[in-house]
Amino acid sequence: MTAFALSEQQQAFARQVRQAAAEQLRPIADAGQPGQLNRELIKAMGDLGLLARLFPGISGGSPSRGAPLSREAPLSRQASATDLCLLRESLATQCTEAETALALQGLGGYPILQSGTDEAVRRWLPAIAAGDAVAAFALTEPDAGSDAAALALRAEPDGAGWRLTGQKTWISNAPEADVYTVFARTTDGAGARGVTAFTVPADRTGLHGEHLDMLSPHPIGTLTFDGVPVYRGEMLGEPDRGFGVAMRTLDLFRPSVGAFAVGMAQAALDAAVRHAGTRTAFGGPLIRQQAVAHLLAEMATRTEAARLLVYAAAAAHDAGGSGTAARSAMAKLFATETAQYVVDAAVQVHGARALQRGHLLEHLYREVRAPRIYEGASEVQRTIIARELYR
């Protein structure tokens, strides 16, 4: 069996997720307010057991919406990249809002699972996994995006802990999250070696936030820290080792960004095939036009190639093999660039109707752009790949 072959059990789980997304999550997402946090959607995913799948050993389902989806997870602090990819691709084909909400819970909560104290894990993860608490990952700053080691948010010692002063921006789920994983500068002039990670409850004195209005409406905003107190038990990992906490989290999630992109590409491809098979033009179905047929073939081939790269990278991550950094970078790079191409091509097949507000492809066209930037832009992924070639 090759590294990227999915088992029957995995394929059955993916079908379960797609069905739940279409029948239960999509209506909740449609009823939400664009750009605002949809707590009902997050809670529904918690009740289905989807969020708990991100946090091995943490129980998160409730019987209020029926039995959670089946899961078999070991008691450990290491999440499965393959599981994450299955979830994100399956959700993205039916409901990008649900996919994004799940991914953000994982990004915000996984550093706590990975590096938090037992007390922090007990305090936050059951609620995050149940969808009762909303988490956020606060790394990016106005002058520290792709160069994450250039963080300037200061953490100054203050008796029982530290005081955080500065700003974060482009933070998903801000300012509505309940807890933030925050990365702050504890040693000046030390680059990546001088950053420490903390959990910061949203109701902490001195913490303020504002929404940002984006091309594709998402719950995202800025955070301002005005001497926000944090305590020793809220530190994730060790002092000045927070950059490693961030990178281990992003290493896990990077292939799954590709899975999100594959899910969007598949949704666009399916829509294009349906339209080309039913739309009559020049005396027959559009799909009989060679230019259209060949375009669909190219879209399908690139989507499948992206899918194989994504699951190969996820399997390599889970196996702990060598070369995972390059594999993950290739997966994210190729899948996100492919999704941009496939969605654009699907719009071309549909024509003007795909540009009408509310059309699936109009939605995907706005959604597909951001993954080429966040969690390492395409240019950063190429740098990682080239660096690994010369290592």
Does pTM surpass 0.85? yes
Residue 205 is predicted with a pLDDT of 97
Delimiting residues of CATH 2.40.110.10 domain(s) in the chain: 137-241
Beta bridge partners of 231: 161
Task: Match 């095939």 to its residue by tokens.
Answer: 273
Residue 35 is predicted with a pLDDT of 86
Query: What is the rounded distance in angstroms from the CA atom of residue 135 to the CA atom of residue 108?
Result: 5
| Cα 126 to the center of its chain, rounded Å | 20
Out of 3.40.50.300, 3.20.20.150, 1.20.1090.10, 1.20.140.10, select the CATH number for domain 244-390. Answer: 1.20.140.10
Residues of the chain with pLDDT under 50: 1-3, 61-75
Which of 89, 97, 234, 375 is an active site residue? 375
At residue 197, the 3 state secondary structure works out as strand
Task: Report whether 365 contacts 289 (CB < 8 A).
Answer: no
Closest CA to 338 of 375, 302, 363: 302
At residue 177, the 3 state secondary structure works out as coil
| Cα 275 to the center of its chain, rounded Å | 30
Residue 47 is predicted with a pLDDT of 95
- Write out the H or E segment, with its range, that includes residue 130: helix 118-130
Query: What is the rounded distance in angstroms from the CA atom of residue 53 to the CA atom of residue 39?
Result: 18
Query: What is the rounded distance in angstroms from the CA atom of residue 157 to the CA atom of residue 269?
Result: 54
Would residue 238 show up in a list of annotated catalytic residues for this protein?
A: no
Helices 81-94 and 8-20, interaxial angle, to 10°?
40
Task: Report whether 88 contacts 79 (CB < 8 A).
Answer: no
Delimiting residues of CATH 1.10.540.10 domain(s) in the chain: 8-134
- Write out the H or E segment, with its range, that includes residue 357: none
Span 8-134 CATH architecture: Orthogonal Bundle (1.10)
The fold adopted by the segment(s) 137-241 is: Butyryl-CoA Dehydrogenase, subunit A; domain 2 (2.40.110)
Task: Report whether 223 contacts 166 (CB < 8 A).
Answer: no
Residue 4 is predicted with a pLDDT of 60
- Write out the H or E segment, with its range, that includes residue 14: helix 8-20
DSSP at 369: S
> How crowded is residue 84: how many other Cβ atoms within 10 Å of its Cβ?
26
Residue 77 is predicted with a pLDDT of 62
> How crowded is residue 52: how many other Cβ atoms within 10 Å of its Cβ?
25
Q: Is 200 exposed, middle or buried (0-12, 13-18, 19+ CB in 10 A)?
A: buried
Beta bridge partners of 162: 157, 230
